[in-house]
Amino acid sequence: MIDKIEKIANIFFIFLGYIGMAALVVFLVFIENPVRYFFYALSITTFIHFKNFRYLRIDFKKVGGNFLLTISIIYLSLITVLSVSPFLTIQEFKISHFTWKPVEAKTIKSSSFWDTGYKRRGNSYATIYYEYQADGKRYKNSEPEALKKYYPIWNTSKTDDLIIEFSKSVSEKIKNKDYIIFKSPNHHDKSRLFLSTDIIYFQGSLLYNMATSMAAIILTILGLLSIILIFSGKSRQK
């Protein structure tokens, strides 16, 4: 009876694991990032493994496993690099939207907000509201979360101070026109704004968020181990 319960429990947790992986894939591919990034990774992986497809009937599990591993590595590398480099993100957008043309902002303003994080202090982010002109008409648009700045859990500054500091940096970018707006040629009301043109913007990247979150987990584990060792040492002395 116990063996049967353990078997059911194992199947249940494996099932939960698959659901978790599927949810992560859906979030990364369809929500957090443009779907075309996945097709880039799929195309590159297909090219790399094209010769191996002949062995699918012989060893489907091995060929399929290698394919999934490669596409995962390529996709995660791609979204990591693009999250670190606003410049490369802009270049990718130019290529994938080659008919879209830059347009000058007639008015532009920003609003900064705060989002409390998990395993991190949180992040500031800016929403940009702007107007541009096309064919004699003015169009209004906004870019939610046009720029982010992550703060690790060990940052002890006041939240209000961090938001003010971030807001000043956003205003400075707008003042220096360190942004670019692209407009659709067919639908003038559709546009995309990139607030930063920096080659590297590490503190606003997915990599920085992951690195500081992992560091927070490691520090928490080390802290718990230290507490356990201290109390165990005191118990022995008694």
From CA 228, how far away is CA 201, in angstroms rounded? 39
Mean pLDDT by 10 residues, the chain (238 residues): 65 70 74 91 95 85 92 94 95 97 96 80 93 94 95 88 95 95 95 95 87 79 78 63
Q: pLDDT tens-digit profile of 57-71? A: 888 889 889 999 999
> What are 63's two structure tokens?
């060929």
Helix, strand, or coil here: 177? coil
Beta bridge partners of 45: none
The pTM of the whole model exceeds 0.85: no
213-220, long-range: CB < 8 A, 24+ apart: 213/118, 213/119, 213/120, 215/152, 216/119, 216/120, 216/152, 216/153, 216/154, 217/119, 219/154
CB burial of 177-199 (b: ≥16 within 10 Å; e: otherwise) equals eebbbbbbeeeeeebbbbbbeee
Q: What pLDDT score was predicted for residue 5?
A: 66
Q: What pLDDT score was predicted for residue 89?
A: 97
Q: What pLDDT score was predicted for residue 15?
A: 67
Q: pLDDT tens-digit profile of 185-214? A: 999 999 999 999 999 999 998 888 878 878
Give the pairing type, strands 180-183 and 122-134.
unpaired
Which of the 8 DSSP states describes residue 127?
A: E
Answer yes or no: are the C-beta atoms of 107 and 165 closer than 8 Å: no
The H-or-E segment that residue 182 falls in is strand 180-183
For residue 224, the one-letter residue type is: L
Q: What pLDDT score was predicted for residue 214?
A: 81
